[in-house]
Amino acid sequence: MVILLALGIELSPAHAVSTGPLLAAMPALASLTMGPRGTLSAAAGGFTVTVITATLHQSWGGQVYSNLISLLVVSAASVTMSNAVRTRRQRELNQVRRVAEAAQRVLLRPVPARLGPVQMASKYLAAETGAQIGGDLYEAVHTRYGVRMIVGDVRGKGLPAVRLAAAVLGAFREAAHYDEDLAEVVNHCAAALDRERATLSAVDQAEEDNLTEDFVTALVAQVSDAFVVEVVNRGHPPPLVLRQGKAEALIPACPMPPLGLEDFMTVPPAKAESYPFAPGDRLLLHTDGVIEARSPDGVFFPLPKTTESVHPCTPSEFLERLHQELIRHTHGYLADDAAMLLAERLNEAGESGQPGPHAI
């Protein structure tokens, strides 16, 4: 725009006004927001305007040469500084990302490929939003009561969300081995969340975006020797059971509020709900980052339809294909972190079921 303005001045009766200093400053201004390529484009535009107007008005002389030299020097300095700033910023961002990823790996450990009567796989996808650490959580443990799994999502981002996720995960990993009632495991997670928020001082709360208002959506599932899956859902997106090529959402009969919002509970305490879970069936637990992922035109990711289109494969391959479909749907951009946990029920001989040609 400034280059066009300078060209207009030079082609108008006001061409006596010198635009050389203005054009010489253009590369420096462009380097602030446009990077090296934009800086060079601005320099080329300024050079072109100077040469055209000097030739048109036959004004070649010391002033024109001085303007061209100034433009050259400023352009070289701007490109050099722009590259240096961008390199330093990228290096700092990469370092912060590495720290964030390391913290996330400590919190979210990969699940074993086999736990008791199920085959397992997990997938965590970080959102492309800088170096923010998300609050998604998942875990699967083999206990004397069966295989117990949890998936959850903390409201918010960054280190405060990680603190709450760590508290919930720690409580689950402990209570899953000692509480026979699945609902009691969830209650222990809720109590741990309350304790973590209560330990924050008034200063901590001010600095960490008022954690007393944060909550955690969570879903805990159990697969035992019986061919059923028990589920306690506290405000979390319902899981999918994949059976013979069809996906069915396990919607709770009595919706419950997330952990941390017990004051809003107007229904009896949560109880585990049971659903059929036969050999060959698969249970897909996920966070809202999966179902709320959008395409560039605003269409949500069709998770049930996509799971039904995946050909038979191992649990890890299944999640990898879902990952590829998710990335394809969003054109490579995730607005929120996404976590997925998949469990396939084995038969009594410890073998996978035999899906049909269109089964998952």
Q: Where are the domains of the chain?
A: 2-97, 108-345
What are the C-alpha distances in Å from 238 to residues 27, 58, 148? 54, 76, 16
Backbone angle region of 174, left / alpha / beta, with phi > 0 → left and psi within -120 to 50 → alpha: alpha
Question: At residue 26, does pLDDT exceed 50?
Answer: yes
CA distance 205 to 157: 15
What pTM was estimated for this model as a whole? 0.70
| Side chain identity at residue 154, one-letter code | V
pLDDT of the residue at 334:
79
DSSP letter assigned to residue 301: P
Supply the CATH classification number for the domain 108-345: 3.60.40.10
Question: At residue 7, does pLDDT exceed 60?
Answer: no
Assigned token pair, 185: 């495991």
| Side chain identity at residue 292, one-letter code | E
Assigned token pair, 310: 């995946």
Split at pLDDT 50, 70, 90, the class of 212 is very low
pLDDT of the residue at 17:
44
